[in-house]
Structure 1
Amino acid sequence: MSGPDQQLLERARAIRLAIFDVDGVLTDGRLYFMPDGTEFKSFNTLDGHGIKMLMASGVEVAIISGRSSPLVEKRAANLGIRHLIQGREDKLNALAELRNVLDVELEQIAFLGDDLPDLPVMRRVGLGIAVASADSFVREHAHGITEASGGAGAAREFCELIMYAQGTLDDARAAYL
């Protein structure tokens, strides 16, 4: 998101919970299956580190995915993501469950998605962002669109937008100087 506008920054400033879809957001959206039926996914390390930085800045992170995969469970564990909801086509109900557990208001929630099942959540939360490779209808209804595609840095961009708006990005980066 080149030069986020003031309204986008205001929305991002209020975020206490960032939620990610998986296929097409944390991955490139392709489904890979071996001849024996084993599935594998490719995750971006830049995205992973962005998620870790966002959590370290005090923002809670969750994943809501329509599909279930032990690979996603492993990736969430590797990143320290405590809130993982898989196999849920009705993402609004999953959102309601997270809100009850974490006691957050809709305007304090950000969601990064790419396809039509993500749209009901994206339209209700305070900050609904679509990845560059998202379905055109989803991009049309998002508050903003990343420059990067899903699985190729979009999650990092999303995390850094929130951190920038909240004034925590410079300190997170400075720790590496």
Structure 2
Amino acid sequence: MNSDLLQRGKNIKLAIFDVDGVLTDGRLYFLEDGSEFKTFNTLDGQGIKMLMAAGVQTAIISGRKTPVVERRAQNLGIAHLYQGREDKLVVLDELLGQLNLSYEQVAYLGDDLPDLPVIRRVGLGMAVANAAAFVREHAHGITTARGGEGAAREFCELILRAQDSLEAAHAAYL
């Protein structure tokens, strides 16, 4: 485990996730009637729940807007959901004002260019393994898992480990 990432993760109070390519595999599925669906990884969902149980707030910021993401956020209990917002840095600033947090207290997981301004600004900005190369170059760290395949779980467990909460999160299931 990278000691710099653990150090950055110690003071995280808010973890933010992109959707397409992070909580999903990045593919967009459209049905004939124009509706769309996405697939989410249950390991990622459990990681987000463990993070929230440890007292870390969570948020989703997505450039696209779909009812499927709203439903997933509700299922997981994610209180802060922003969809259809292309300028994610503006959303971050709004959210920090609402929650009275600083950039250093935020972790972000993304995969593509619209995520990069936030990745570069926050205390812990990470990219998924299959993120765009330019994004990976500028992230503090890169997950070993691909988006939609456990990357969010890995990100959550990194924060929990940094805050000495991972063992307690696991122990709750023993």
Q: Same fold (TM over 0.5)?
A: yes
Q: Matches of 1:134 and 1:142 in 2, distance apart?
A: 10
Partner of 1:71: 68
Distance across 1 between alignment mates of 2:59 and 2:33: 31
Counterparts of 1:29 and 1:13, CA distance in 2: 29
Aligned Cα RMSD in Å? 0.5
Q: Are 2:139 and 1:105 aligned?
A: no
Give the TM-score of the pair, scaled to structure 1.
0.97
For the residue of structure 2 that corresponds to 1:29, the secondary structure is coil
Secondary structure of the residue that 2:64 maps to in structure 1?
A: coil
Instruction: Pick one of 138, 146, 149 that aligns with 2:146.
Output: 149
Unmatched segments (≥5 aa) in structure 1: none
Determine the structure 1 residue equivalent to 2:12. 15
What is the Cα deviation at residue 118 of structure 1?
A: 0.1
Match of 1:135 in 2: 132
TM-score for both structures, normalised by structure 2: 0.99
Q: CA deviation at 1:175?
A: 1.1
C-alpha distance in 2 between matches for 1:49 and 1:66: 24
Query: Deviation digits for residues 149-174 of structure 1, max 9, x if unmatched?
Result: 00000000000000000000001101
Match of 1:92 among 85, 89, 92: 89
Separation (CA, whole Å) in 1 of partners of 2:64 and 2:149: 20
Measured in 2, the distance between the counterparts of 1:114 and 1:6 equals 22
1:112-156: CA deviation from partner (whole Å, max 9, x where unpaired): 000000000000000000000100000000000000000000000
* Partner SS state of residue 123, structure 1: helix
Cα-to-partner distance string for 1:61-116 (whole Å, 9 max, x where unaligned): 00000000100000000000000000000001100111011111000000000000
The DSSP-based 3-state class of the residue aligned with 1:111 is: strand
Structure 2, gaps ≥5 residues long: none
Structure 1 partner of 2:78: 81
Q: Which runs of 4+ in 1 moved over 4 A?
A: none
* Aligned length, in residue pairs: 174
Letter in 1 for 2:77: G
Match of 1:112, SS state, is strand
Q: What letter corresponds to residue 19 of structure 1 in structure 2?
A: I
Q: What's the CA shift for 1:7?
A: 1.3
Match of 2:155 among 155, 158, 170: 158
1:38, distance to aligned residue in structure 2 (A): 1.0
Q: In structure 1, which of residues 117, 121, 126 is the aligned counterpart of residue 123 of structure 2? A: 126
Q: One-letter code of the match for 2:5? A: L
For residues 74 and 36 of structure 1, what CA distance do their matches in structure 2 show?
Answer: 20
